[in-house]
Amino acid sequence: MKNVKKSTATARPAYAVILAGGKGERFWPASTARRPKQLLALTGGKTLLAQAVERLEGLIPPRNIFIITGRELVPAARAAAPALPPAQFIGEPQGRDTAAAIALGAGLVAARDPQASFCVLTADHIIGDRPRFQRTLRAGLALAGRQDVLITIGMPPDHPSTGFGYIEAGARLPGRGGLVIRRVRRFVEKPDRATAARYVASGRYFWNAGMFIWSVPSFERAIVRHRPQLRPLLERARAARTARQLAAVLAAEYPRLEKISVDYALMEKADNLVMLRGAFPWDDVGSWPALERHVGRTADGNTVVGTCERWDARGNIVMSRGRLTALLGVRDLIVVQADGVTLVCAKKRAQELKHLVAQLKAAGGYDKVL
């Protein structure tokens, strides 16, 4: 890693860009393209988007939080997070993955403060221990304001997951308040199980949680060096002065943008990467079985959200709000009722739901409300 440049800039207000796109496929039928996962109240009685905004309370003021979502989801996102000014919700005309969404967010932040630091967060994760989470963000924002670095947050793996990308961490850097900061050697793609097991056993690898922190100048330099195709979007978004002007910019720029993640576009190429170790509870809630970790189980061994009567039924996951579901003599099923649609799925095959969704899309029934 190259020597990082130090800045003499004084502390300034921080910003957050929350990515709230997505298609909702892994939590169908409760989640659909018109109501993706971040707009569901899976745990805690509030939508995941509302929880993501509340998690920043006291650290970043509402006027400094931008929500990047799909254009058709803007009204629902505003309803889910009414504490934010309506102008802070920006609708992308097409999904172009995280690199474009973050470049857009960087332009919005730069329009307010061209030297600001900002964090990039996701709207569909469950994160616990808010004080520790905020301490991590605060330390990262301060570091990004002092040095020309791209910061990622790595989560210590507790099992050899094949569903996450990994970060290989290098030498430890000076940190404060017990926070662990390390250089990044490389990002690696989702591994097979044997490789994931080696990663976990080594102690050098962390899950890539998709959370980042950097300053506007550092992000701009990375864009210019590694993905100059995104520079016009950032610059034109920064120059837009009204919502109408911004909408015109997005309509002109998005159709010609490639669909690429920020990991591929920047993080796998940059040489000024550092990682903050995430020491707070985190879960990307990737599929229905994740509810068992957060909702818990009833005395008879089932996980229930809503109303469910059981007789000789164990190990099942049920979501049935506003209606009654009854189980008799079944084991290890996922049963979801939503909008007149019922899903019954073997729990061990939850990851295969994407195949059923693809079939439904082909038949025109994915978003159908009966």
Rounded Cα distance, 154 and 263, in Å: 13
Residue 280, pLDDT above cutoff 70: yes
Instruction: For residues 313-317, give the mean pLDDT.
Output: 97
Fold of 15-283: Spore Coat Polysaccharide Biosynthesis Protein SpsA; Chain A (3.90.550)
pTM for this one? 0.91
Query: Token pair of 1, please?
Result: 């890693």
**Percentage of residues of the chain with pLDDT beyond 90:** 79
Rounded Cα distance, 339 and 364, in Å: 16
Residue 177: pLDDT band with limits 50, 70, 90? low
Rounded Cα distance, 154 and 53, in Å: 21
pLDDT of residue 366: 67
* Better pLDDT: 172 or 369: 172
* pLDDT-wise least confident of 6-20, 152-166, 314-328, 340-354: 6-20
Burial of 292 (0-12, 13-18, 19+ CB in 10 A): middle
Phi, psi of 30 (to 5 degrees): -65, -35
Instruction: For residues 99-110, give the mean pLDDT.
Output: 98
Q: Note the Cα 120 to chain centre separation in Å.
A: 9
Residue 236: pLDDT band with limits 50, 70, 90? very high
Task: Tell me which long-range contacts 289-293 makes (C-beta under 8 A, separation of at least 24).
Answer: 289/317, 289/334, 289/347, 289/350, 291/42, 291/43, 291/317, 291/319, 292/317
pLDDT of residue 33: 82
Cα–Cα separations (whole angstroms), residue 250 to 18, 47, 110, 222: 18, 27, 16, 21
Instruction: For residues 117-121, give the mean pLDDT.
Output: 98
Residue 326, pLDDT above cutoff 70: yes
Which tens digits make up the pLDDT trace of 50-60? 999 999 999 99
Which tens digits make up the pLDDT trace of 157-176? 999 998 889 999 999 888 76
Residue 45: pLDDT band with limits 50, 70, 90? confident
Instruction: For residues 185-205, give the mean pLDDT.
Output: 93
Nearest to 6 by CA among 174, 144, 115, 176: 144
pLDDT of residue 368: 60
* Domain regions of the chain by residue span: 15-283, 288-363
Question: Taking every pair of C-alpha atoms in the chain, what is the biggest distance, in angstroms?
Answer: 67
Instruction: For residues 116-138, give the mean pLDDT.
Output: 96
Q: Note the Cα 193 to chain centre separation in Å.
A: 23
Instruction: For residues 108-130, give the mean pLDDT.
Output: 96
Residue 3, pLDDT above cutoff 60: no
* Better pLDDT: 97 or 4: 97
Residue 298, pLDDT above cutoff 60: yes
* pLDDT-wise least confident of 11-15, 60-64, 249-253, 291-295: 11-15
Q: What integer best gives the mean pLDDT of the chain?
A: 92
pLDDT of residue 370: 41
In sequence order, which residues have a C-beta less than 8 Å from that of residue 125 and are 6 or more positions away?
48, 52, 209, 210, 282, 283, 284, 285
Residue 65, pLDDT above cutoff 80: yes
Which tens digits make up the pLDDT trace of 346-364? 999 998 998 999 998 888 7
pLDDT of residue 6: 46
Residue 226, pLDDT above cutoff 70: yes
